[in-house]
Structure 1
Amino acid sequence: MKKYLLFLFFMLNVSAFAQVENDTINEKTEELEEITIQSTRTSRTIRNTPTRVETIDAEELEEKANMKPSNVSMVLHESTGISVQQTSATSGNASIRVQGLDGRYTQLLKDGYPNFGNFASGLSILEIPPLDLKQVEIVKGPASTLFGGGAIAGVVNFVSKTPTEKGEYNFIINQSNIGLTNLGGYISRKHGKFGYAFLALLNLQQAYDVDDDDFSEAPKSNNFTLNPRLYFYPNEKTTFMFGNSFTMGNMKGGDMHVIDGNADAFHTYFEKNETLRNTTTFEFDHKAENRNSFKFKQSLSFFDRKISIPAYDFSGLNTNTYTDASYLINRDKYTIIGGVNLVYDNFKQRTVSNLDAKSFTAGAYVQHTWDVTENIKLESGLRFDNVRYSNINFSKDQFFVLPRVSALFKFSNAWSSRIGGGLGYKVPTIFTEQTETIQYQNVQALSGVVAEESVGGTADVNFRTNIAENLTMSVNQMFFLTSISKPLVLQSDGDDLFFINASDPIITSGFETNFKFIYEEDFKLFIGYTFTDARAKYLTENQFLPFVPKNKLNLALIYEKENNFKFGLEGYYTDRQFVYDGDEKPDFWEFGFMAEKTLFKKFSVFINFENFTDTRQSRYEPVVQGSHNAPTFEDIWTHTEGFTINGGVKLKL
């Protein structure tokens, strides 16, 4: 009952705030607002969607791909309210945090398919390349009504490009000073009743030790991705898609002598990750004459991973299947979508089966979007999930009722607002950021725990105006609040580690402030500030959550002449933060500069100076303690590799 009362209290007290859209500032703004959002499943444009959705468009994705073509970590690291938390000092594994919450509370999707959780979560963002992405959609706050368990902090949906009749043929070569080489290409085309899209990417990384402590900041690694997709269009209203994404990777970090093949009695430590991910997807989409549509989605994903350190191995196979069928009713004044889905997740540990676990979720959902007037749009949704999860110790069934509401108010051409909130849950798992840092050593199987449950919401206000004839400004002020009851907390009993449900909640609240200035479409200035107050109420003394700075500031200045050149200068401030042992770490700044020049319309060269002030953890404290044979590692709270330079060439045909 408390979570329902908190939900109602939140909705009543923040109804004065929300996100604003301007309909008519200029043609470019109008084009941006016509972006169709996939994450809400209603095929509405962002301007007419009550749910608050942030988008990262193709242009910005291309800029971030210049910085790191191998994966999407740079795309998310520099977004307001989102951080990428590195979980290993030697291998660079990482996860995503939204609004201060642990990575397990954010649902990662690729084209709507949730294949990146549990055992795969520590490497997921390192295995999603940005080269074939059309846009990234971010829903902050509870999104469980449409996406089920795990969407407590929010949803990040990576949306792929689809074939066009003109075709697209893009290629990139990138090289960095720390020994990273990227070779990639994306091609696609629609021809008659058939279409295809194909992504291929090869990443080669040499081991890199920036502080000469004999331990790698970047591991020696190689991985490649192949992702073909085939399309069949029997008529204008029907689409079949079949795809298969295959990724294989090997990473070896640790003592540089061991990595180089020169291990001896004094140099023995290493951390090795061997991974294989294969995801097969099928999609059927049919649009009826009355604007209604039916969509069926199916995926089967295998994630095979082996972690090795001296005298210890941990390996297993995670199998995930996802099936979703939905029907969309489109009318002039309202949209209704209803559907059912089934999710099966099974982890099988090799050698021993102590940590084997599986879950099966059957869910049904409905969402109604109502255009009350041209300026008022309401959205309400309801989801029912029945979840059975089990391991060697116990088996449990839980039933969840998940309501969600949101509203869009357009007060004028310059002002509008959005507010939304709902409930969520997360099935218990041993695969968290904290257990990832210790390679799951001595972690015991779950016993007697229940799912974490949440209530929360977001509200924001947005204002856009023309300051002068050629200067426009937009301001967005967003507030958020999330409370997670029965949070899963890691405890120790001697050498054994185990999870319990804490009696008191985790509560995270705060706000994001974003300014955007555009001068003559050439100069763009972005200013983003995030304040986060994240507390673990079950702790008796220091209740601050680890790796959550209270204050973060994002600055970016872009100067661009379309199809000619582009320059960008970025700066980021991160406030003090705590680590797992309660120690407080200092604040820091980081800066970057990028440049790109287009030649002959189809060929461009780029260079990127990332973190050119060389901010890194080893400048504040030793990252590695102890001997080379039995080292211990500090928690990672900032960059480890320091200043990096990369550059390359791109070809667009």
Structure 2
Amino acid sequence: MLQGNTKILLLSLLVFLLIHPSAYSQENSGTIEGTVQNSSGESLPGVHISIPDLELGTVTNANGQFRLTIASPGTYLLRISMVGFEEKTDSISVASGQTITLDIELSPLVFQSDELVVTASRRSQLIGKVSVSMNTISPEELTSRNITSLDQALEYVPGVQVHGNSVNIRGSSGFSYGVGSRVLLLVDGVPLMGPDDGGMDFDGLPLIQTRQIEILKSPGSALYGGGALGGVVNIITKDFSDEPENTVRLYGGGYEPVRFETWRAGWGGGSDFRPRGGIIFGRSHQVTDSFGYWFSGKIHNNSGYLQNSTRKGFETYAKFGWDISEVMNLSMYTGLRRNNNEQFLYWDGLDDVLSPGSINLTGNEASGANDGLSDRLTILPVFQHSINPNIQYTLKGRLFGVAFRPLKDNGHISPPKRHNKGLRYGLEAESTIQATDEMIISGGLSFDENVINSDVFVGEDSLTVRNQPEGALFLQSEYTWNDQLTTTAGVRYDAYQVHTRSTATQFSPKFSASYSINESLTARASFGRGFRVPSVAERFVNNNDFFPLESNITLKPETSTGYEAGVTYISPILDAFSLKAELTSFWNEYRRLVEPTFVNELAAFQFVNVTRARIRGAEASFSVSTLDQNHQIKLGYTYLNTTDRELNQPLLYRSKHLLNGSANSVITDWMEAGIDFRAASPPERVDTDFSLFVPDAEVFPTQYITDIRFKFQVPHVYEGLDVNASFLINNLFDYYYVERPAIFAPPRNFQIVIEALF
């Protein structure tokens, strides 16, 4: 009995020493502690702090903090180093019992990026240390292109296509009417998918207050759970500005008339210039040392370039932050949106692409257009507590409500029984522990529930209220072996109640490694599992308004297994330019992909699990810029080899070749110009079932789209007031194409943007 108690005591002591490494230090020792940041004030994790003479060292934790205990007080050389930053050394004298606190700022090497990302590992890290494929979109890119919705922003990312409501990362989604997103949307790390259809809210983008958008291009379910089958899109919001910052942006423009007389004859609006415009505004201020806020909003009106495609509404977002103490803080993100949209679903054939079509089966006519009023409410509270420099935990709440009310032809709202209402709410608890100088462990649990009330989701049991509870446990360990090698291993277990008689579970492991071969070249490799439980809409929809659809409660979760390897090269050229090149190969296996299929016995479409699929390919990206970043060129190419392994045919709606290019140049102090180009080969295979009912739905020409932009800056118009104006032309050569089946993509259109900052 005594021996057993001794073992328990020793084990408890070991755990205590791991968490509190200073506990066993001698009373007469000295201490050096502090925080390391980059030039933008962001904390830097993974920085090596060492005293070579004592062969003593540590690394900064997730908050950029470090602590060194000096057993023999004296004067020593302190070395601070990290790949991509200039090394710092300093002579430090430590007396017995003394604690020295340092605030250290590292400057990036002029040819390296010090950009921090969080999506790849649920914590801040340099993008050069990330062991999976990632892209980021900066606020400057959002502003220069006058991006007003998330789908517009993603169109410029290599390897990403947007097909209607589907984000397609490296072929993971293709396009399927009514199927939820296979890419997970996050806002500051919190899932924000529709509770009813499992889709993305493209309009939910706090434009003025977005710090960056991160795109993870591999299965992310081991970190974030269901929906991350093909990747993750994470909107990272800004911190509060020290001084009040106000932004007002006005934009206006429109779509040119179409060239073909046949199309104009089908809808008279095709002969008109179709206007669009809006106002975007925001303010940010760190009011006191303990309280700050920002807000962002948009009011917009778009007459559309297709019949029944007008969009108008408003949206507003706000974030508040309180530092309760030096170690505790609370933030609250909120969003409110109302849109009145006419949604164009599919055309009436190539002779009349501007007018919605219809499907007539067994006497039921389904319309190719939909008019409705939609509301969305988002509340995301976050509480953080740093127990000590080595341990912190975070609590994240979420409430996401949606409501859709169909509108009649006279503009009146349909009866309440026709309304579609949904609510997603939940809580996540996560803890991060700096277990040793080399190891960071994070883990936690989450619970969410979707509740939907709609007569569209009746299903076989005649119920109109659906709920889907879901819970998860996750654990991840990151180990830094030396200055060159970092490995990450993690696992997540999810359980979903798909209906009252069935629960789906999923075990999602991941492993990745990043190895810095030298100062310029980094190699990486990763493996991960992903999954997606079919949405309530896919399982229970029973409706003939737009397509004849029948429910299928037997749908199984989709799964994916992804493998990836790549290299990144960053180096100066001729002491005047910075070069960054990446080459990545990937291999993804998918099972039980959900597709809408026409079932003759039902005389309707039904969502079914049909596919074992494989997607292999490679991606190359290249960018070169001047060291001052005033002139830049980017190129990206993605090759996809897709196979439906049951039919031994290419997967539906996947392009084999994707090409992106952009250039930007600051011509003078007051003028800059840019150009974007993207191309996609036509899909090797399209949905023949759908083509039987919608004329010419199989038409999918090669895409060639070119956009240009010019920006003129007038700084200091008055004291504290800067003004700039932009002129943009999208689809410069008025190339006619489709982005998804049976819908004509935007013709040439332009915008004039005026922005004031004060």
AA aligned opposite 1:593: I
1:61 to 120, 139, 142: 142
Number of the residue aligned with 1:534: 642
Which of these residues, 616, 620, 625, is aligned with residue 513 of structure 1?
620
Q: Is the CA contact (8 Å cut-off) linking 1:229 and 1:244 kept in structure 2?
A: yes
1:287 aligns with 2:386: yes
1:186 is matched with 282
Structure 2 CA distance for aligned equivalents of residues 614 and 477 of structure 1:
33
Distance 2:580 2:457 in 1: 56
Q: Deviations over 1:64-105 (max 9, x none)?
A: 3x2x33x1222101110111112xxxxxxx331111122621
Alpha-carbon distance in 2 for matches of 1:245, 1:513:
37
- Residue 598 of structure 1 and its aligned partner are, at CA, apart by 1.2
- What's the counterpart of residue 146 of structure 1? 223
Answer whether contact 1:177 1:645 (CA < 8 A) is retained.
yes
CA-based RMSD:
3.1
Q: Which runs of 5+ in 1 are unaligned?
A: 1-20, 87-93, 210-214, 261-267, 624-633
d(CA) in 2 for partners of 1:248 and 1:317?
14
Amino acid paired to 2:569? F
Query: Using the alignment, how far apart are the partners of 1:351 and 1:552 within structure 2?
Result: 37
Change in 2 beyond 3 A, CA 1:357/1:507: farther
- Report what 1:198 is aligned to: 295
Do the aligned residues in 2 keep the contact of 1:302 with 1:320 (CA within 8 Å)? yes
Residue 329 in structure 1 maps to residue 433 in structure 2: yes
Deviation for aligned residue 1:48:
3.4
Counterpart position of 2:156: 78
Deviation at 1:460, TM superposition (A): 1.2
Opposite residue 487 of structure 2, the aligned amino acid is: L
What does the per-residue CA deviation read over 1:539-571, in whole Å, with 9 as the maximum and x for residues that have no partner? 36xx22333211111111110269633210122
**Count of residue correspondences:** 585
- 2:729 corresponds to which residue? 609
On the 8 A contact 1:323/1:343 being kept in 2, the answer is yes
CA shift, 1:243, in A, is: 2.8
Shift of 1:287: 2.1
Matched, 1:589 2:704: yes
Going from structure 1 to structure 2, the CA distance change for 1:120 and 1:239 (only over 3 Å counts) comes to farther
Deviates more, 1:372-381 or 1:182-191: 182-191
The residue identity in structure 2 corresponding to 1:647 is I
Amino acid at match of 2:336: F
Q: Which residue of 2 aligns with 1:467?
A: 573
Compared with structure 1, are the counterparts of its residues 430 and 301 closer, same or farther at alpha carbon in structure 2 (3 Å cutoff)? closer
Amino acid paired to 1:23:
G
1:99 to 156, 162, 170: 170
Does 398-407 or 439-448 show the bigger shift?
A: 439-448
CA contact (8 A) 1:108 1:117 kept: no
Instruction: Give per-residue Cα distances to partners, 1:489-537, cap 9 Å, x unaligned.
Output: 32222422223323x5122221111010113532211111111122322
Structure 1 residue 368 displacement after superposition: 0.4
Question: Distance between the aligned counterparts of 1:158 and 1:352, measured in 2?
Answer: 30
- Partners of 2:112 and 2:243 lie apart in 1 by 20
Task: Give runs of aligned pairs for residues 243-392 of structure 1, distance below 5 A.
Answer: 243-252=333-342, 270-307=369-406, 315-330=419-434, 331-350=436-455, 353-354=458-459, 357-390=466-499
Equivalent-residue separation in structure 2 for 1:486 and 1:344 (angstroms): 24
Partner Cα distance (2:207, 2:509) in 1 = 33
Is 1:41 aligned to 2:122, yes or no? yes
Q: Look up the match of 2:323.
A: 233
d(CA) in 2 for partners of 1:432, 1:563 = 53
Residue aligning to 2:63: none
CA separation of 1:205 and 1:285: change in aligned 2, threshold 3 A: same
Aligned amino acid, residue 612 of structure 2: P
Using the TM superposition, give the Cα deviation of residue 646 of structure 1 relative to its aligned residue in structure 2, in angstroms.
Answer: 0.3
CA contact (8 A) 1:386 1:397 kept: yes
**Cα contact 1:238–1:287 (8 A) shared by 2:** yes
| Structure 1 residues 271 and 123: alpha-carbon distance in aligned structure 2, compared to 1, 3 A threshold | farther
Give the CA deviation at 1:292.
2.1
Aligned to 2:42: none
Q: CA deviation at 1:352?
A: 6.9
Query: 1:497 and 2:605 equivalent?
Result: yes
Structure with bigger RCO (C-alpha 8 Å, 6+ apart): 1
What SS does structure 2 have at the residue aligned with 1:177?
Answer: strand
Question: Corresponding residue for 1:15?
Answer: none
Classify 1:460/1:273 alpha carbon distance in 2 versus 1 (closer, same or farther; 3 Å).
Answer: farther
Distance apart, 1:62 and its partner CA: 2.3
- CA separation of 1:439/1:72 partners in 2, compared to 1, >3 Å: closer, same or farther? farther
Instruction: For residue 432 of structure 1, report the CA deviation from its aligned partner.
Output: 6.6
Structure 1 contact 429–446 (Cα < 8 Å) conserved: no
If the length of structure 2 is used for normalisation, what is the TM-score? 0.72
Where does the alignment leave 5 or more consecutive residues of structure 2 unmatched? 1-81, 87-106, 174-179, 256-274, 349-353, 356-366, 692-697, 717-721
Identity %: 17
Q: What TM-score do you get using the length of structure 1 for normalisation?
A: 0.83
What are the Cα deviations for residues 31-65 of structure 1, in whole angstroms up to 9, with x where unaligned? 7324242552233333334344322222223223x
